[in-house]
Amino acid sequence: MAEKHILSLEVPSVANCEILSIRDTSQYTELLPVDCSELLITVPGFNSPALIQVDKNFDLNLAACDLGVQTVNCGTEQAALPDGVYIIRYSVSPNAEVFVEYNHLRVSSILNLYNEVLCSIGIDTCEPSSETQDLISEIQYIRTLIDAAVAEVEYCISPAKGMEMYDYALKRLRRILCITSSNC
């Protein structure tokens, strides 16, 4: 059996809406060189990927300027990265043959909104009123929708269905925030 690199990436969810975190978790064989490493990232709403030059075992926190989302004030400001489906491809030479590609559903903004909603309903250690219990049940359902959206994109390889679920969860979450904070 021929020795080969086994490429793998980890793309953890982060609360910081200005950062996309990516870590190389590949297993490299000592018998082959690791040349021409490329990380290609297509941001939601963009047609062409940003090319990031990397070395093996990288651990990156990429900002909007790194990904071409922001093109001005890169040294002084950081724009938020959008939630949505990111197509992430990592390859080494020969790049057409040795690669791994992922659909990643970024959910940083919606999870921050989810936490804002949790803070706004005033959960405490006492038994909640029936109205608060109904809100808690709705919030739990919304969290399940978010998790299911991620699963649809990343495991079921169904980005359209995942985004449909994401959008539905966001709509329900905004409705609750409107009710609980009178911020409509």
SS3 115: helix
Average pLDDT value over all residues in the chain: 93
Q: Hey, where are the domains in the chain?
A: 9-106, 108-181
Q: How many CB atoms lie within 10 A of CB 43?
A: 22
| pLDDT > 80? residue 183 | no
Q: pLDDT of 96-151, one tens digit each?
A: 888 999 999 999 999 999 999 988 887 777 787 888 889 999 999 999 999 999 99
Percent of the chain surpassing pLDDT 70: 97
pLDDT at res. 76:
93
| pLDDT > 70? residue 2 | no
H/E stretch holding 10 reads strand 9-10
Query: Nearest-CA neighbor of 33 among 59, 53, 3?
Result: 3
Residue count (the chain): 184
Q: What value does the CA radius of gyration of the chain take, rounded to a whole number of Å?
A: 20
Q: Does domain 9-106 have CATH number 3.30.450?
A: no
What is the token pair recorded at 125?
A: 């250690």
Q: How many CB atoms lie within 10 A of CB 149?
A: 27
- Residues whose CB is less than 8 angstroms from the CB of residue 176 and which lie 6 or more positions away in sequence, other chains included: 117, 121, 135, 138, 139, 142
Answer for the pair 108, 44: CB distance below 8 angstroms, yes or no: no
Q: What is the DSSP letter of 100?
A: E
Rounded CA-CA distance 85/78 in Å is 20
Look at the block and give the residue holding tokens 């909603």.
117
Mean of the pLDDT values across residues 21-37? 93
* 174 φ/ψ sector (left φ>0, alpha ψ -120 to 50, else beta): alpha
Rounded CA-CA distance 120/179 in Å is 10
pLDDT at res. 75:
86
